[in-house]
Amino acid sequence: MAADLHSHSTASDGSARPAEVVRLASEAGLAALALTDHDTQEGIAEAAEAAHAEGIDLIPGTELSLQHEGGGMHLVVLWLVPGNGPLQNRLGELQSGRVGRNSRIVEILNDHGMEMSVEEVERKAGGGTVGRPHIAAVMMERRYVADIRSAFDQWLGQGKPAYVGRPRLNPEEAISLARQSGAVPVLAHPHTLGISRAEDMARLLDRLVDAGLVGLEAIYSSYRRHEREGYAHLARRFGLIPSGGSDFHGSYKPGLDIGSGYGDLHVPDSVADELKDYASIT
């Protein structure tokens, strides 16, 4: 049997609802599916209910963006049970940090003579998650900018006067909080780290293994066979379990299916079993 240990739903940036992702995984004949939405576990309850009905094993998880110079470092955290716990609580704090971020941006715009309040921006979001697009909409309405695009180009985009970065966990903290929460941290799609020299990769993996890293994603949709083998070999060299997943995003990544990726992905469910030994839930 096969598993898929990396997927996204509408709870973050996927196009399919959590229950739909589970249904697709079940149709694909998978034994286990991990739902790993970015920085949130909001989809887990719905997915778990669907998984129960479909008779498929749902692994609760999330995917975190971590502090890293020069590239994107993502951590897939598996068997993270929603509720209270060291990592779960820290994620809650980061969510409220997003609220703080919006008021900081509004403050900067106020300082530049653009009048608006956080409440106005919240009204624009209509009760949903408030973000920069809503701030841009208010700016446009007040004719401070011509359109949404120039709001980003002139003010809100990275490197612009009202840009406020999203707070991120540092890798050691995230990995160690995951382990303290009984979950299993896996370094996702290592090619996005932007590391080309073997000794730099070795230095980083030494650090992360010391912090408690358990797995490294080696079986990934966009990888060719030699890359999957190379990363699996690298993982074992550092005592890590070669993990795998499709990184399914529904129709936002066309041609990429749950379980089979672009057609040639296969993650044996024995991989999930091996990783689960490090989880403190049954």
What are the residues binding Zn ion (CB under 5 A)? 63, 74, 188, 247
Q: 268: which strand partners?
A: 2
Compare residues 39 and 63 and give the one whose CB is closer to Zn ion: 63
How far apart, in whole angstroms, are the C-alpha atoms of residue 204 and residue 92?
27
How far apart, in whole angstroms, are the C-alpha atoms of residue 106 and residue 126?
18
Q: Which residue is nearest to Zn ion, using beta carbons?
A: 74
Give least dist CB 155 to Zn ion, A: 28
Give least dist CB 201 to Zn ion, A: 18
Written as one letter, the residue type at 52 is H
- Which of 34, 36, 29 minimizes the C-alpha distance to 1? 29
Compare residues 2 and 188 and give the one whose CB is closer to Zn ion: 188
DSSP letter assigned to residue 166? P
Compare residues 74 and 134 and give the one whose CB is closer to Zn ion: 74
Quote helix, strand, coil % in the chain, to nearest 5: 45, 15, 40
Query: CA Rg, the chain, in Å?
Result: 20
Cβ atoms of 140 and 147 closer than 8 Å: yes
How far apart, in whole angstroms, are the C-alpha atoms of residue 111 and residue 257?
47
Compare residues 23 and 74 and give the one whose CB is closer to Zn ion: 74
Compare residues 74 and 179 and give the one whose CB is closer to Zn ion: 74
- Which of 225, 230, 231, 240 minimizes the C-alpha distance to 274? 240
Compare residues 91 and 130 and give the one whose CB is closer to Zn ion: 91
Q: 57: which strand partners?
A: 32
Compare residues 64 and 139 and give the one whose CB is closer to Zn ion: 64
Give least dist CB 217 to Zn ion, A: 9
Count other C-beta atoms under 10 Å from residue 108's C-beta: 17
Cα 17–chain centre separation: 16
Cα 39–chain centre separation: 6
* Consecutive H or E run containing 211: helix 198-211
